[in-house]
Homo-oligomer: A and B are copies of this chain.
Amino acid sequence: MTIVQTTSPLVTIAQNTRQAASKLALLSTKQRNQAIEAIAQALESAKDEILQANIADCEAAMADGIAKPLYKRLQLDEHKLRDAIAGVRDVGRLADPVGQVQIHREIDTGLILKRITCPLGVLGIIFEARPEAAIQIVSLAIKSGNGVILKGGKEAVRSCEAIVKAIKQGLSHTAVHPDAVQLLTTREEILELLQLDKYVDLIIPRGSNAFVRFVQENTRIPVLGHADGICHLYVDQSADIAKAVSITVDAKIQYPAACNAIETLLVHQSIASEFLPRIAIALQATHVEIRGDKRTLEILPDITNATDTDWETEYSDLILSIKIVDSLAEAIAHINNFGSRHTEAIITEDLKAAETFLGLVNAAGVYHNCSTRFADGFRYGFGAEVGISTQQMPPRGPVGLEGLVTYKYQMTGDGHIVTTYTGANAKSFTHKDLT
């Protein structure tokens, strides 16, 4: 990697963002919400300009022979833009994640400790060709008191420029300095951004698994996101077959490209001969390709043979691999070996088996008798989702606004020194929680 010169334009941008973010961090809830409303209004005023820019992006992408799904994501019509602006106002109405007092404790008379949430500082967000993502991200950043450096997909550059121009215009009449929101436009800047650990506090990559892995491997800045979503459904020997069929179909086909869709079905051997023919009919009716291990093929002879690669593949498509296991323990071992620690589910009427599964499976989400597709910040009631994390340490799983803040310990005294509490005549601490 190249060394960042202090004269690099990106360093200057990052410094300016940090400067603006440190002022933003001190603003009241009301001031931040006013800025969010100003953004919504500015986007409404700039509607025509944004839609024109998007048409230009779409024409250029079409000329470049863009793939159809990518084109659909790139396209921003009046309806999508209106929804995105409504989303900005929704963020404005969320509870303020900043200034929450998590600990309030008297250490001794007159010596008070508070742990209080505060913004992280500057977020670096790299997203693909969906231009309205910029709108949502900026509103979440301002709500949580953070500056934000955006890098959108190159196909969406005109749209993003028009959006960010409108946002900065909106902010210019508020307490938030427009420098708090920045847009990078060249791909080369991504690597440089990943090196700015002095100025950027969190990177959120939104894109393919390969891209997220690239980001994770090329930065010392904490990364919020997951490279893989290899989720399993385990149909236990005590499963209710009707629930198992319905949940399998939902978890596979309801949105196969989602990270919380299942890739592998594990079936207890004692229920396999009853369950597998039924699920095969249901899946084939919805055009799902089934790949099975040897024992599955004995029951479903017409399906494809699953190889070892299948167990570690996120298909993101209408394909499902099936493996017969001899026990709950084997199912758990398979999941802990091949799962990506995202979301894992058991179908069973046996509460003891469910308890063991939820306890022993190592994943951000462990589910009993419901679809893995529920793993989502909005469905969890967070009001927003900034990403889904599959790391072991918090924040883990779907992350709402709480993932964009950190905390500080604030201690206030009246001349208190540690010497008073040490040695032969040491004074004791009171350690009394205050409400």
Chain A interfacial positions (CB closer than 8 Å to B): 22, 25-26, 105, 107, 111, 113, 120-121, 201-202, 222, 240, 242-243, 246-247, 249-251, 254, 336, 354, 356, 358-360, 362-371, 373-375, 379-381, 391-394, 396-398, 406-419, 421-422, 429, 431
Contacts and interface: CB of A to CB of B under 8 A. Distances in A.
Contacts of A392: 120-121, 201-202, 222, 406
A396 B250 CA distance: 40
B412 A359 contact: no
A417 B249 CA distance: 9
A373 B418 contact: yes
List 5 tightest A-B contacts by C-beta distance, closest first: A370-B413, A250-B417, A381-B431, A373-B418, A243-B415
Given A360-B26, A369-B414, A409 B254 contact: no
Nearest to A240: B415
Main secondary structure of the interface of A (DSSP, over half): mixed
Given A222-B393, A359-B26, A392-B222, A365 B411 contact: yes
Given A246-B417, A370-B412, 10 more contacts: A22-B336, A120-B393, A247-B417, A363-B408, A365-B409, A366-B410, A367-B411, A381-B431, A396-B407, A396-B408
Contact of A379 (B107, B202, B380): B107
Contacts of A240: 415
Given A360-B22, A362-B121, A370-B412, A394 B407 contact: yes
A324 B346 CA distance: 64
Contact of A370 (B373, B380, B416): B416
A362 B25 CA distance: 11
A356 B356 CA distance: 51
Contact of A411 (B120, B368, B415): B368
A419 B379 CA distance: 12
B242 A418 contact: no
A380 B429 CA distance: 9
Contacts of A354: 412
A415 B370 CA distance: 5
B371 A417 contact: yes
A365 B421 contact: no
A17 B86 CA distance: 51
11 contacts: A113-B381, A121-B392, A201-B392, A254-B417, A366-B408, A367-B410, A368-B411, A369-B413, A369-B416, A371-B416, A394-B394
A412 B379 contact: no
Given A359-B25, A394-B394, A407-B394, A415 B369 contact: yes
Contacts of A412: 354, 367-370
